[in-house]
Amino acid sequence: MSIPTVTTQINNNDSNVVSPTADLDKDPYAINQIRYPRSGIGTDDVPSHVVFYINLPASSKYIGNNAGNVVQNANSASTQNYDLLSQQGGHLTISETGTNSGALISAASQVVSDPTNIGKAVTTGLFSKEAGAVIRSLDLRPKLTRINRTIALYMPDTVAVQYNHRYSEVDATTEMGDIGKYASIGGGITGNNIVDQVKGLAENVFSQNPTSFNQAATAELVTSFAEKAGAVGAGFTDLALKSLGKAVNPHAEMIFKATENREYQFTFDLIPRSQAETIDIYNIIKTFKAFAAPEVTAESGGRYWIPPAQFDIKFYFRNEENPVIAKISTCVLKSIIVNYGAAGAWATFQDGAPLHINLQLSFTETDIITRELIEAQGY
């Protein structure tokens, strides 16, 4: 069975349209804002929409070639967050300082000249005060440059924000080990003749009329010694306590470990209503793909990447930023899925353009959202 092809003529609303690639091939920064739908965004027709701002690494070779297309005095959200947290000591600093990197260079020279002398090089150079200056020179502030190309799309059906904080459960009783067991008895074992005292406690606990002031704790201590000696199997302590109608309280504690970077998934159904809108959709997809990809440098035989662009995402209602929706910090675009056959069967217009394209974008924030950022920035 052949797959049907739609051959309906597309209305050409733009007489200057040449081809889907014309704008991008001429100048990759020529379009100030690409929109879908092409009209109605910010009006009563499409009052809610989302705008994607593009931030290129300052080292990008495209910035130098298109300096006139850089947005002046526009900092990424990540840059603003870095500055805010730095004021409160929230970023990595190295306490060791030095005057120059001479010792580090000297150490490296020793390794090059005599690879067998690495130990001395490390001792005399890498741990020196001067070498600390090299570490302290690390500048981790985001180095991003906003370009004047943006993408505006209708509000997706789902806008979910998830805040995940990692905790681990610690069994305080287990972690305190034998010292904790001894402490729980309250110092019932004293002096130096510990073996005889433990033996006496054991005889007392397992006699027909035990008189220990803390029978369960003493039983736990004695049976755990028996387990470690191999006289009984693992788990015998639990059986002994069960016979006394007791069980060990683990004193579980929740220990905070980390806050995870937030992730966002957006899905858009792109159905062109004109040839001009087909071109807009093509340019939107190509822009996301191009700026989610890295660049390669000519230096060192192409050894280094220039990282991909990062995106600032903002939600608008009637052309004003929506204050009710939690803000999103600067994101990396980790995944793009383009389904050109979203109509359910392969169907195209007369010129081969798909009738229905489904675009799925997966973003991850570069910043960890702290209480300070939530209160000051509205994340």
Q: Are residues 148 and 117 in the same domain?
A: no
Its pTM surpasses 0.85: no
Give the model's pLDDT for residue 261. Answer: 97
Judge whether 228 lies within some domain. yes
Q: Which residue has the tokens 């049907």?
A: 4
As beta bridge partners, residue 310 has: 55
3-state DSSP of 316-363 = EECCEECCCCCCCCCEEEEEEEEECCCCCCCCECCCCCECCEEEEEEE
Residue 193 lies in a domain: yes
Work out the widest C-alpha separation in the chain, in whole angstroms: 103
Final residue before a domain boundary, out of 220, 235, 254: 254
User: In this predicted structure, what is the pLDDT of residue 139?
Assistant: 79
Q: Is residue 293 included in any domain, yes or no?
A: yes
Q: Which two tokens stand for residue 72?
A: 């002046």
**Closest to 188 measured CA to CA, from 162, 232, 140, 221:** 221
Whole-angstrom Cα distance, residue 316 to residue 325?
A: 9
* CB-based burial, 332-365: b 16+ in 10 Å, e otherwise: bbeeeeeebebbeeebbbeeebbbbbbbebebeb
Same domain, 243 and 349: no
**Do 272 and 149 share a structural domain?**
yes
Q: Which domain holds residue 220?
A: 168-254
Domain assignment of residue 1, yes or no: no
Does residue 209 lie within any of the structural domains?
yes
**Confidence at residue 279, expressed as pLDDT on a 0 to 100 scale:** 96
Residue 130 sits in the same domain as residue 231: no
Look at residue 169 in the predicted model and tell me its pLDDT.
Answer: 93
197 and 218 both lie in a single domain: yes
Number of domains in the chain: 3
Residues 332 and 360 in one domain: yes
At 234 the pLDDT is: 85
In a domain, residue 6? The reply is no
Same-domain pairing of 154 and 295: yes
Integer Cα distance of 158 and 315 in angstroms = 13
DSSP 3-state of 164: coil
Residues 154 and 181 in one domain: no
The Cβ of residue 89 has, within 10 Å, a number of other Cβ atoms equal to 7
pLDDT at position 220: 78
| Residue 45 half-sphere exposure toward CB, CA atoms < 13 A | 7
Say if residue 88 is exposed, middle or buried (CB neighbours under 10 Å; 0-12, 13-18, 19+): exposed
**For every one of its 379 residues, what pLDDT tens digit does the chain have, with 9 covering 90 and above?**
333 333 333 333 443 343 433 444 444 444 489 999 999 999 999 999 999 999 999 989 878 666 667 888 899 999 999 999 988 877 665 554 444 555 556 666 666 666 666 666 555 555 555 555 556 667 788 999 999 899 999 999 999 999 999 999 999 888 887 777 666 665 555 555 555 655 665 666 556 565 544 677 777 777 877 888 888 888 888 888 888 888 888 889 999 999 999 999 999 999 999 999 999 999 999 999 999 999 998 887 889 999 999 999 999 999 899 999 999 999 999 999 999 999 999 999 999 999 999 999 999 999 999 999 999 999 9
Shared domain check, 247 and 300: no
d(CA 30, CA 220): 77
Identify whether 5 is part of a domain.
no
Beta strands in the chain (DSSP E): 33-36, 48-57, 144-154, 165-171, 252-259, 263-270, 295-296, 305-306, 310-317, 320-321, 331-339, 357-365
Asked whether residue 51 falls in the same domain as residue 97, the answer is no
The reply to whether 155 and 295 lie within a common domain is yes
Residue 8 lies in a domain: no
Q: Are 183 and 76 part of one and the same domain?
A: no
Separation between Cα atoms, residue 349 and residue 327, nearest integer Å: 38
